[in-house]
Copies of this chain bind each other. A is one copy, B any other.
Amino acid sequence: MLSEAERRCAERQVRLTPQRRRVLEVIADRHGAIGAYEIIARLGEGRSRPAPISVYRALDFLMAQGLVHRLASLNAFIACSGPDRAHGAQFLICRGCGVIGELNDASVEAAIGRAAAAAGFAVAAPLVEVTGLCRSCRTSDAPA
């Protein structure tokens, strides 16, 4: 995953600096969403804690490269599961266990494109965040 990120940055002639790389590592370590200030805390464990702005700048870079997504409804960030193919951001957020699934369904994006076009709207960044229950939380909650 990290090597894929490096390959991609080299290809685009952008710099995956040590600091940006550390931020990406912290996000990827967590298999799920992580808040900006928790990233800051994790980075500050050994060395000196970076200022918020430093981490936000790294996050801006990583998002621009499509390596990280922002979950607007959670104010949190998550590593992109399949950074190789371009895609909009579609997420399934389980309100039971908090697990995040990346959806990236072409038919959803197509339906959004059609509906938007019918309104004369040119889509730039479609954002889909679906709250609900994942398979395992659903079965355990079922008898309610």
Contact = CB atoms under 8 A, between A and B. Distances in A.
User: Which label, helix, strand, loop or mixed, suits the secondary structure of the A interface?
Assistant: mixed
Nearest to A124: B132
Contacts of A53: none
Interface string A77-115: 000000000000010101100000101010110111011
Given A120-B134, A121-B132, 12 more contacts: A72-B129, A92-B121, A107-B111, A108-B108, A108-B112, A119-B135, A120-B138, A121-B135, A122-B132, A126-B128, A127-B129, A127-B130
9 contacts: A72-B73, A107-B115, A108-B115, A121-B133, A121-B135, A124-B131, A125-B131, A127-B127, A127-B130
Interface of A: 72-73, 90, 92, 94-95, 101, 103, 105, 107-108, 110-112, 114-116, 119-135, 138
